[in-house]
Structure 1
Amino acid sequence: MSGKNHTTWAHHLPANFQSNHDYAKIFQILRILRFNNRETCSSRKQNDKFAAIHDLWTFGAFVIVDQQLVAFRGNCPFRQYCGLKFCILCDNETSYVWNIQPYTGKQPNQPSEENRGLRVVLELSYGLKGHNITFDNAFKSYELGQMLLKITVTMIGTVRKNKPSIPTELLNTKNKEVFSSTFAFTNNTMLVSYVPVVVQSTFHFNKNFPNSVSKKPQAILDYNQTKGAVDTYDKMVSCYTSKRKTKRWPVVVFSNFVDISAVNGYILFTKVNPNWKQNSLAKRRLFLENLGISLVQIHI
């Protein structure tokens, strides 16, 4: 949990926990924490930027693919702006993390990858069947929609306007009223230009306007309702996290891995026990306290 909760957390520890001595042990463990074999590290780094933690890393009807940026300012060969980027597949209803991939950019001694977004979505969604995936224009393409249909997975997503698959009639919005809609169809795909965005869907097949006031097509409403799971997960992690200030990026990745496991554990536990702490406003904090004590109790 975050540093401000150390005092509360310590009050729940067993009486034989010697705080100063045992905290020193914890900091010593954090200082020497490593996830890599030094003997083979140099050779594996030549072809894999993620080699320092790669060995450890391998691991609803509506889901979402989106990007997560984990804050980090140290030296890392694939740092993006002020952090490490991950692509996440989440359940829309609960924000349960189904799958995750790090973004490492161009690998050493390898050519630049084309259609990276297509590969990432297909790998993240491996094993899904009968689901719908929502994502933004960083991943969306007509080819991806067709490949997902082959594994009985539909999609909804915004499309960049420079895509050649978009008819010019949908791109010409100069004289169109704001929030007006123009549609285009193939036998299995629908495009709607809802000024000022373009959305592609293999989940919708008609011009449905359930809300006569906003005049939003059903595809736009469904996209808005199913795009926020990763943002919700980010908010959950920002409240209680195992991350500590460090200049070693594998430790940041490991902390993110712990945070994901804790969030997933909380989601599963509350689904199985819906009446647990039902009236409490601090359910997740209490769950994390109990989880931490359960994990360390047998080692004390």
Structure 2
Amino acid sequence: MLFIQFLMGKLLCTFTLLYASLSDNQIRSLLEDSDLSGDDEFVPSPSNIQQADDSSDDDLNAEEVPEERRSSHNVIEGVRPQLFWRSNFVQKIYPPNINYSAIESPSPIGTPAEYFCKTFFEEATKYTNMYSVAKTWESLGTTAHELKVFFGINLMIGCIRHPRLPTYWKKSISLSGISDTISRDRFLALRNNVHFVDTIKPPEEAKTNRLWKVQPVIDTVRRRCHSLLSNFNYYSADEQMIPFTGHCKLKQYIKGKPRPVGVKNFIMTSASAIVLDFEIYWGATTPLGDMSLGLDPSAILRLTQSLPQGSFVYFDRYFTTDSLLAKLKEKGIEAAGIIMVNRIKNVNLKEGRMKRGECHSYVRADEAVVFTECQDSQRVVIASICAGIEPKCKVQSANMGGVDIHDQQVECYQMWFRTRKWTLKCLLHFIDLSVVNCWFIYREHCRENQTAKKSIMDLLKFRMSLSEALL
């Protein structure tokens, strides 16, 4: 080992002496003849390049510069140049700066202003300031424009989720669209004080209407939904949950729902999932009209009050009874729905196992209702006053899922922060409902105009454009 170290030391000394005896020109010639020459080259280090005096070179032209100064680098005499590697590389092309400015209203028929009009914001401004005076002895001083900003920020919060509400204003992870528009304390003050009626002197309907605190919100959204009824022929009805787990006398539990606890809302949509009417359930005094058929059938009768004759309505097994179908037929409305076997009387259904795809039809004596028994993965019985075996299953499956599709889209970007106020939760829910409605109408508008698929905004981009327009 010592002998090897001795040889290595001798070799190192030899190469050092050899390098010292070579001149600069000899070193350059050796490098030019080596395999390292080509597109890449060795050049003198910038630390050894002599900086030319600007004042002395002002009067020199390119033809007057001596040969030794025409080199791209001037090397200081008596100093061995430090060579470094200069490589020819391709400059990286970065993506251009994208303008994320607010997009204009994507469709003339789908804007939130159609659901929450100017009068609504003016009334909300008045009652919000009144409530803050009663609560803190100081007016909040909000305006209709600031409430629109409050709506827009809630829309953006639903799109970009943070673990806690104050983190939207934290410097390291804040969103400029939110933090530059309104301060955290101001936003929380609006959130805690927003009101739509006079709670100091409640109206007379407060004695009988449990929803009186949010009734203006319900009325303004329902009014716009009713204006869309004449544009469709096929409708779907089902239950919807406004999720809320705090203290509330209206709270219900529905087994099997993705959000089983909250305020129950009977809702009717088109086959394309556009909400057309709804009725929030708040107890035995809910204005559903004729309650002789039971709660769920009465909800269907209430939702179909404004439908034109000849409309087709489809609903789930919790609503379907033969007496409900008879009532709808009297009103000139066609209907169909899956029915529970224990609700069928005087009909002998097929006993035993049926083959998959096998169907049997049974007609009532007065020919008012048809019961169709089909075997799929499970046995299903469908009651109808508008179709028999052939178009039954296809029509039912094509038009029944409107409420579920709407709930799915609302759930995607729902404003999910918890609150103790059920009134605020209802407000946020109806904002989400109106935005999803606008998006479905916008898509229908694009299809009618044969807009290219790549040019149609998805729900996220649509929602962000609306929030930026409100800010």
TM-score > 0.5 by shorter chain: yes
The question of 1:96 aligning with 2:274 is answered: yes
In 1, Cα distance between the equivalents of 2:416 and 2:263?
13
Q: Which residue of 1 aligns with 2:250?
A: 78
The question of 1:204 aligning with 2:387 is answered: yes
Does the residue aligned with 1:155 lie in a helix, a strand or coil?
strand
- The 10-residue stretch of structure 1 (82-91 or 115-124) with the greater mean CA deviation from structure 2: 115-124
Equivalent residues, number = 275
- For 1:100-179, list aligned pairs within 5 A: 100-107=278-285, 113-114=291-292, 115-129=294-308, 130-163=310-343, 165-170=344-349, 173=351, 175-177=352-354, 179=356
Shift of 1:42: 8.7
Which of 266, 287, 297 is residue 462 of structure 2 equivalent to?
287
Which of 233, 236, 242 is residue 61 of structure 1 equivalent to?
233
Shift of 1:177: 1.9
The question of 1:181 aligning with 2:356 is answered: no
The question of 1:37 aligning with 2:198 is answered: yes
The question of 1:247 aligning with 2:427 is answered: no
Preserved CA contact (<8 Å) 1:62 1:226: yes
- Inter-CA distance 277–19: structure 2 relative to 1 (3 Å threshold): farther
Task: Give, as a single letter, the amino acid of the residue that structure 1 aligns with 2:432.
Answer: D
Shift of 1:95: 0.6
Q: Which residue of 1 aligns with 2:23?
A: none
Shift of 1:46: 4.0
Shift of 1:20: 7.7
- Aligned-residue identity in percent: 18
Structure showing the higher helix proportion among its residues: 2
Shift of 1:280: 6.0
Gaps of 5+ in 2: 1-154, 163-167, 223-231, 254-260
CA-based RMSD of the aligned residues comes to 2.9
In 2, Cα distance between the equivalents of 1:43 and 1:77?
20
Preserved CA contact (<8 Å) 2:414 2:432: yes
Shift of 1:194: 2.2
- Inter-CA distance 128–107: structure 2 relative to 1 (3 Å threshold): closer
Q: Which of structures 1 and 2 has the bigger CA Rg?
A: 2
Residues 22-55 of structure 1, C-alpha deviations (whole Å, 9 max, x = no match):
3432222111122332245496454222222123
With normalisation by structure 1, the TM-score equals 0.80
Task: Give, as a single letter, the amino acid of the residue that structure 2 aligns with 1:258.
Answer: I
The question of 1:267 aligning with 2:446 is answered: no
Shift of 1:18: 5.1
Task: Give, as a single letter, the amino acid of the residue that structure 2 aligns with 1:224.
Answer: S
Gaps of 5+ in 1: 209-217
The question of 1:50 aligning with 2:211 is answered: yes
- Inter-CA distance 55–153: structure 2 relative to 1 (3 Å threshold): same
- Inter-CA distance 178–32: structure 2 relative to 1 (3 Å threshold): farther
- For 1:219-258, list aligned pairs within 5 A: 219-258=392-431
Q: Which residue of 1 aligns with 2:27?
A: none
In 2, Cα distance between the equivalents of 1:166 and 1:260?
39
Shift of 1:258: 0.7
Does the residue aligned with 1:152 lie in a helix, a strand or coil?
coil
